[in-house]
Structure 1
Amino acid sequence: MSSANSSSGRHRKAKPMSVAVRRAFIIAAVPVTGALLSAPSALAADKSTKTTTATQAVAGDGLDSAEQKIADNLNTRAQNPNLGDTFSGIVLDSKSDKVIWGHDADTALMPASNAKLATATAALTVLGPEHRFTTKVVYGDGTLTLIGGGDRLLSTADVTDLAKSAAAGVKSAGLGSVKVRIDDSLFAEPSMANGWNDSYYDDQVSPVRSLVVDGLLSADTSIDAGKIFAKQLADQGVTVDGEVTRGTASATDVPVGQHLSPTLAEAVKKMLKTSNNDIAETMLRMTAIAAGKPATFEDGTAVVRDVLNRRYGVSMENFEIYDGSGLSRANRIPARTVADILDLLTDPRYSHRLRSIDEGLPVAGEAGSTLGPEWGRFDTPDSQCAVGQVKAKTGTLTGAIALSGLTKAADGRWKVFSFIENQSSADPAATKDTLDGLAATVNGCWA
């Protein structure tokens, strides 16, 4: 293990029907309005007030004494056999962008769900944090069509409101019954990403469709959503003829209901807190559409690479992603690149746009997140001191465990870290405990 004590090797560039029936329907819009550590503004302030005079003793090659202690401890602790022989790690100082420590930081490894950080950054940049997704109901030729708009937070309660609006229109038009279909044509037919296993359906992720209710995993989330809609119509006294079908709404169909999702920022926070694969894959497609591209794995990931590189100057060297969630076993990202993406959160120019990533990162010891006690995280004698002091994105696949985030170190300065392990023969729980200990080391509480 060796410490990298200079800023050399950083890849970031400079940041620069009949008329009577049509009139009878009611057009309804139903919008929904939907930190354990310092807010992004604190990070931004820390970054924007760089000191010009040395106020601390400098040890080693450009490291002050506090940073040297982090580097020395990581040099020792990163040799833990629980990390195996394939390990990439880096620690940056957010104010100076100085590399405090690194080990094989440019080696591209399977990042697991750390890839969601790239997806979230691109989505917030292209769509904007206040963007909302629209689910619609239209009527035409005796059929009510529920149209998916990429809202992964759509709930049964939301669909009930849509059904009430549609039922009012049906009754006002004097219609005795209707057929129900779903239109999920916004996305191409579901497919497997390069590096996905067949076992992922319906265990880790659903076939990616633009319509889903209550975030349920299933083989056909759109038809399931249509069935819920049909049931709610029946509860409103509308007779539904036949089974729910799939089709494409006509441009002449009459709008009878509309629901606006919570903001993209809220979706990002939920995705990161719980590492939700379905939200990530839907977000990837909606980002592609907003960029004028088809809603596919290939085009979505191309937009992610373009945004990271051209908008933020993050190097794409050795960077390969094939999905939005990190489930792909073909994905490869260096720890340095993950850290560079996280370091954007500390830049005041991006604090508003990317704030929800910071707020969505799981916090050590936070119940309900992937770093909560229910997952056995930060509960060892070495790491429990960092509960509430570390926020980081987890990543877990067979043969890949990652932890990347931020913490305010003993010197009072924010540190950005990324640790990625592949192919260790150790028990995954032991590997996670070791990574938690490395994060506690960066924080300085495990001195």
Structure 2
Amino acid sequence: MVAAAAVVLALIVYGVVRAMTADAKETPKAAATVAVDRGEVTTEVATTGTVQPAQTRSLSFAVSGTVESVSVRAGTTVTAGQVLAKVDDTDAAEAVSDAQEALDDAEDALTEARANASATSSATTSPACGSNVAAAYVTGTATPAPTATTTSPAPTATPTPTATRTASPKPTATRSTAPAKTTAPAPAKTTSPGRPGGGVPTGGGASAGGGAPTGGTTCGTSGGGQQSGGQQGGQGSGSDPILSAQQRVTQATTTLENAEDALEGATITAPIAGRVISVSGKVGSQVGSGSTFITLADVYDMQIDADFPEADADRLAVKQKAVVTLADRPGKEFKATVVQVDPVGTSDGTMVRYGVVLAFDTSPEDLLVGQSASVRVTTGSKTQVLRVPSTAVHDVSGSSGTVLKGGTQEKVTIGLVGDQYTEISSGLSEGDQVVRSW
């Protein structure tokens, strides 16, 4: 009974209090305000990506064969020049030996062709070539024969006084009355004993009996006669043996170089330092030339591959700065730079995305190929501009918006709209109080 009476009394008290406070109004809280200040305004776009090596090398053998040794496996870190794998190079070594022998034979043939050409040229050259040819044909006697006739000087005709007379009483300006110079007597010519018909011809060609021409041609090589026009005789019309030998040497040299390349290609060496990503065979496997056998990645120069939706991609550009965070290194941020933006997007059926490549400014050590990364790219930034929190600006349309200042809505001109702050170009002054959010 006592307990029931206590409950009834409590209900009565509650009803009286409720009735007395039914018309009371709750006092509203004052709106939070913030002062307009100057500072940095930035805008960012964010996404996730994966860490990838800046370059990978697909390594293969230059010759087909059986794998003889494999020195690495996936995950092995290698240095530049390190031997990674080999195939049986017996056939390749024999090809090099055969090619070297062929080159030696070709060089010997070229040397012999040059020697033969030199000997032939010496045997067919006349002893009198290049000397005074006319003198060689007059050395048979020491003194002129007494029967040789000499040519007497021809007397010149003395012009008569009337030879050039004109109507003028005086001689004309031609002065034809002067006596002409007398011709010097020509020396007597002798014939060589035992050389019938050995007189020196005055023409440019060779005489049939071996006479020497005075026309200045080169020496002949057939029949003792001289060819006209300065051409050397005795040359055949066939192919040049020296040229053929030189062509053979060139071909043999090319064959040897190719064989040496093939022998070198029987061994795979690391062209760069990095980490082996995959090995597609083992000892005893049959491999073909040109088929990828080892994939090597440059893990010392890593980059981030990321995709951005088309709504953000139009604000991305090369050389923009970014911040990268890695899942296995919480609390650490790494600076990066955009180095490539794909000009064409790819669609997954619901959204078009654009690929972006970012390079670490300082690459961290021991990165894992394919690990995930969070990326924030700064697409716009201004420093020391008038700004307010972005939540304080409403009714944004183009470059205008509205802020609440002292209980009154004020129109303002805005500039860069950032993620945290918005630039105010006009309408407010530094120190003005505006409502932070309304």
Higher strand share: 2
The alignment's TM-score, normalised by the length of structure 2, stands at 0.20
Higher helix share: 1
